[in-house]
Amino acid sequence: MLVEHFMALLVIMGLTATVDKKSRPSSQYFGHLAAAEELSNLIPDNYDGLEPQFDNSTAREVIAALGTTARLHCRVRHLGDRAVSWIRQRDLHILTIGIMTYTNDQRFLARHIDNSDEWVLKVVSVQPRDAGVYECQVSTEPKISQAYKLVVVTSKAQILANRELFIQSGSDINLTCIAPQAPGPYTHMVWHKDTELVSDSTRGGIRVVSEQQMKTSNLVISRVLNTDSGNYTCSAENSNSDSVFVHIIKSEQHAAMQHELGARLELPSLALLLLAALLSALLAAPA
């Protein structure tokens, strides 16, 4: 490589020297200056004379829960004008080159922030078949590459409650969320009410107690009001979220609801009894 550049330098110097002789009454000094100028035109701005090199600080194994978004981070120093590609090792499919995607599977995306060293392969809605090895490849001669492993796990956060809750106004809500299969030793968990992050709420009397190591989180809302009705979602890092719908009801409504539920339970058995009576009447009837 160095030899090639040196040769290029010699050639350019030779060329400019001849041009100089014909067109410009230049001094030796001026000729050198022109040569340096032309050489810099041939070499990309960001070329700093160093070969591309992987920055080895990013995670080479990424664990993602089914259905979540996975990101493989490849960092390359001194990339210059070379391109970074992501290749799926299973079928040697070139997924991305630079920021372009070369697969019909639209779940694969290349992400890169201008002037950064980072080339990210983003996999949206991870599927079991996405598990495997991906190669981050740099278009040097010869190519250099680094392997990344994507592990797909099934993890779902779970709110330990019915899907629909009827809470009497004035009483407290205590929701517990667990994510036992969440990958990694710690799991960050957050709660949303509808689309709002509960921790951003201006309502007082809300407490979230999370145990990252135990992978549990408690949401306690004291003395609930009508406005606390809504869709409560627990999201655990690297897991699918879980939601329950909370209805705030007045005490009389609560009693009525119990009554209605009871009535609904009784109705089928009453119908069965009638049917049984009808059948036995039919069977008992002489042929």
Ligand X SMILES: *[C@@H]1O[C@H](CO)[C@@H](O)[C@H](O)[C@H]1NC(C)=O
By CB under 6 A, name the binding residues for ligand X: 53-56, 174, 176, 218, 220, 231, 233, 243, 245
- For the residues of 258-269, what is the DSSP string, one character each? HHHHHHHHHHHH
Q: Which of 147, 95, 83, 93 is nearest to 121 (CA)?
A: 95
| Exposed / middle / buried, residue 188 (Cβ in 10 Å: 0-12, 13-18, 19+) | middle
3-state SS class at 160: coil
Nearest approach in angstroms of CB 166 to ligand X is: 14
The residues, ordered by sequence, that sit 6+ positions from 32 with a Cβ below 8 Å of its Cβ are: 13
Secondary-structure breakdown of the chain: helix, strand, coil percentages, each rounded to the nearest 5: 30, 35, 35
Nearest approach in angstroms of CB 66 to ligand X is: 16
Nearest approach in angstroms of CB 165 to ligand X is: 12
Bridge partners of 13, per DSSP, are none
Nearer residue to ligand X within complex by CB, 56 or 104: 56
Contact (CB, 8 A) for 120 and 165: no
Nearer residue to ligand X within complex by CB, 53 or 181: 53
Nearest approach in angstroms of CB 38 to ligand X is: 32
3-state SS class at 196: strand
| Exposed / middle / buried, residue 22 (Cβ in 10 Å: 0-12, 13-18, 19+) | exposed
Nearer residue to ligand X within complex by CB, 67 or 132: 67
Nearer residue to ligand X within complex by CB, 40 or 174: 174
Nearest approach in angstroms of CB 18 to ligand X is: 42
- For the residues of 111-139, what is the DSSP string, one character each? EE-TT-SEEEEEESS--GGG-EEEEEEE-
Nearest approach in angstroms of CB 86 to ligand X is: 18
Nearer residue to ligand X within complex by CB, 62 or 76: 76
Nearer residue to ligand X within complex by CB, 187 or 235: 235
Q: Round to whole Å and give the CA distance between 161 and 181.
A: 18
Nearest approach in angstroms of CB 41 to ligand X is: 30
